[in-house]
Amino acid sequence: MKGFPHKISLVLYNVIILFTFLTLVYFGYSYYKLPVEGTLRLEHPLYNLLKPTGFIGHGLGIIGTLFIVFGLFGYMARKRMKIFARVGLLKHWLEWHIFICTLGFIMVLFHTTFKFGGVVSIGLWSLVIVFLSGVIGRFIYIQIPRSIEGRELSVREIQDLKSELDDELYEKYGIRFSEVKTSKFSEIRMKLIAAKVPHKEFRKVRYLIRKENILEKRIERLDMMHKLFNHWHVLHLPFAIIMLIIMVIHVALALYLGYSWILFK
C-alpha cells in the first residue's frame, strides 16, 4: 500500500476512531455522565443496554478486547516472527496497531462505563498507560529515522542520507549546509540570487535545508532517542502485559460466572 491508498487508510483509521468515539458519546452521554454509585444509572432507560454486562456494554468490552488482542499480537507477530517479516510494511503495521488498539481502548473504556474500581480497573489503567505511552512512543518512534520498511537506520546510514542531501544542495545550488544552517533564509536568498538560481527553485532549496536540518538534529538526538525508546519499551510493554493478564483474569472470571454476552448460549 503506497501513496494515495495509504493516505486513505490513515484517514479512514481516524474517521473510524472519531466516529466510534462520537457515536458512543452521543448515544450514551446521558447515561455515562451519571455518578457511578447510587441509583441514578439504574433508573436510566439505557442502563440495561450500556451497563458492563448489558448488550452494548458487554459487546463493547468483548469486541474492544478482541481488537486490542488482535492489534497487539498481530503487530508483535509481524515485528518478531520471521514468517510475517515480509507481510506488509512494518510502518503500516504500526499504524494499524495504533488504530486498532486505540479503537479497542475506546470500546473497552465505554465498556467500563467509566467505573474505575477493583482489579479490573488496574487493567484499565494499565491500558490507559499503554495507550498514552503508545502516543509518546509514536513521537519517539518518528524521531528515529527508518528505512522505507520501517527498519531503524544506523547512524552511518543517516549520515549518508544527510550527505546525499548536502551534495544535492551543493551540486544544484552551490550551497553548503554547514554554511547556511545558522543563516536566515533571507541571507540564503541573496546567495541564490547571486548564483542566478531561478526563483522557482527557492522553495526546493528551502525544503532541502529544512530536511537536512531535521536530519542533523535527529542525528544529534539519536542516541538519546534510542535510550528513550528502550525505556519506553520497558513502560509500554510491561503495562500491556499487565493489562493482558488482568484482562484474561477478568474475562475468565466473567465467563466462569456466566457473563458470556451473546456467546455460548
Partner 1 sequence: MKIKIFLLTLLLSYLTVISSFAQFSPGQLSKGHANLEGVENCTKCHSVGNKVLRDKCLECHKEIKASIASKKGFHASVEVGTKNCLVCHNEHHGRDFQLIKINKKSFNHTDMGFELKGVHAKKDCRACHKAEFVSDPNFKKKTSTYMGLSSACLNCHSDFHQGKLSANCASCHNFNSFKNPKVVGFDHNKTKFAILGKHKNVSCLKCHKTEIINAKPAQRFKGLQFESCTPCHKDKHENKFGSNCKECHSEESFHAIKNISSFNHDKTGFQLVGKHKTVACKLCHKTESMTDPLKHDKCSSCHADYHKGEFAKKGVSPDCNDCHTNKSFAETNFTIERHSKLKFKLEGAHMATTCMECHRKQKDWKFAKMPVNCVECHKNIHKGFINDKFMPSENCTLCHTVTSWKSVTFDHEKTGFKLEGTHAKQVCASCHFKKNSIGVRVQQFEGISKECSSCHKDNHVGQFAENSKTECLKCHGFTTWKDSKFVHTSSRFKLEGAHRDVKCIECHKQTIDQKGTYIKYKFKSIDCNSCHS
CB of 240 to partner 1, least distance (A): 9
Instruction: Assess contact for 261 and 59: CB atoms under 8 A.
Output: yes
Angstrom distances, CA of residue 73 to CA of 1, 67, 70, 241: 21, 10, 5, 11
User: C-beta of 36: minimal distance to partner 1 in Å?
Assistant: 7
Number of H helices, E strands in the chain: 10, 0
The nearest distance, CB 87 to partner 1, in angstroms, is 23
Amino acid at 204: K
Whichever of 83 and 257 has its CB closer to partner 1, that residue is 257
> Which is closer to partner 1, CB of 132 or CB of 237?
237
Which residues are within 8 A (CB) of 244 and not within 5 positions of it... i.e. 6 or more apart? Answer: 69, 72
- Choice between 52 and 150, CB closer to partner 1: 52
Cβ closer to partner 1: 205 or 243?
243
Q: Which lies closer to partner 1 via its Cβ, residue 21 or residue 261?
A: 261
- Cα(96)–Cα(90) distance, rounded to whole angstroms? 10
Written as nine digits, the cell of 82 is 520471521
Nearest to 109 by CA among 81, 68, 77: 68
Question: Site residues (CB under 8 A) for partner 1?
Answer: 36-39, 41-42, 52, 115, 117-120, 122, 126, 230, 233-234, 237-239, 241-242, 245-246, 249, 253, 255-259
